Amino acid sequence: MVGRPGGQVRGAIPTSQVIGVLDYQVIVGPGLLEALGTVCHRTAPAHSVAIISDDQVAAHWLRAATRAVTDAMPVARVSSTTVPSGEASKSRAQWAALTDWLLAEGAGRDTTVVALGGGVVGDLAGFVAATYLRGIPVIQVPTSLLAMVDAAIGGKTGVDTPDGKNLVGAFHQPSAVVVDPLVLSTLPAHHLRAGMAEVIKHGAISDAAYFRLAATWGATVHRARQRDEAVDFSGPQALDVIGRSITTKAEVVNGDPRERGRRQVLNAGHTVAHAIERETGYAVLHGEAVAMGLAVEAELGERAGVTAPGTGHALRSALGGAGLPTWLPAGMDAGGLVAAMRHDKKARAGSLAFALLAAIGSPAGNDDAGWSTALDESLVREVLSSPAPALP
């Protein structure tokens, strides 16, 4: 049980969009980082707050986050630590180091963890919170687009192993998710593009009109970054796309919180993506791998007769317009990818399973037949060995 609040709360939450589909609130709005302490006090009051970040994010936002918590909760003890930036930190070794840090800090069940960072920090800090003293509260504060629309939503936490991504983890829902699009101003362009892959994916699995909106915004942001122009992350288009993407994921998660059915549609592109990440030693960003996975799996679905013709063309156009890759890296070995796919969590009885699309805006499958499709390995090898289809 969480202890009494750590002091009198100060400050107010600025005007924001509250997405209340889940059992907890996802709050979206510019300037929300300044209200982090208020959100923490209202949703997970505690005597101590432990902020976990990475070294790159901390350089930009840790001071502001710490100040927001101490200003709103002056009696609470606030401590912070960082991990090295990058997928390599999502490991059992870092999980052990962070739990040891909490023990050294004297953190009890009246502690709230704040995950300040991208998907790696969110997954890692969430897993620490899920397992420390059998579970303490966590507030997710995503600082990358990918984390805002995907990793921070849904309560999936975990770490990687040499055999694959996210193979050790737990479901641990956050007390709240605080999404401040203004923090995207310091996000490197390639990380911003990587987040666009998940935004476009959400349109592809849910709504053709939203897919077109997401593709348009992705192209707009990519052109601006190419010209070294500022992007207005507080504008109506950005807030609409981010809010709708979060809502899309939240609605799917709410209907299947433990990933036993329809939630598998969120894994569109991910069977191939996780294999690419493993085979490249995680040198490829997750969103870039998802972009390639979406294109490859659309081609697989079309050749298997599951996916409507033209779906891959539409996806490659949207992904390419956002500056994302639309096929496998040169020299990628089909056999290595297939071997990696056998470790995917969707694999059953040795088969390779994919969360395919029926068409843009519509996932393949149903509750009776399931939401993933097993494909013959020979077809998978054939497509993986094929040259990249021409861009539109």
Task: Enumerate the active-site residues.
Answer: 134, 156, 198, 249, 259, 263, 267, 270, 274, 286
Phi, psi of 295 (to 5 degrees): -65, -45
List helix spans (H) across 110-153.
119-131, 145-146
Residue 7 CB partners (closer than 8 Å, separation 6+): 73, 74, 75, 76
In 3D, which of 50, 51, 47, 53 has the Cα closest to residue 74? 47
In 3D, which of 219, 233, 123 has the Cα closest to residue 183? 233
Q: How far apart are CA 305 and CA 159, in angstroms?
A: 35
Q: How far apart are CA 74 and CA 70, in angstroms?
A: 5
User: Is beta strand 77-83 parallel, antiparallel or unpaired with respect to 48-54?
Assistant: parallel
Q: How far apart are CA 86 and CA 386, in angstroms?
A: 31
Q: How far apart are CA 138 and CA 155, in angstroms?
A: 10
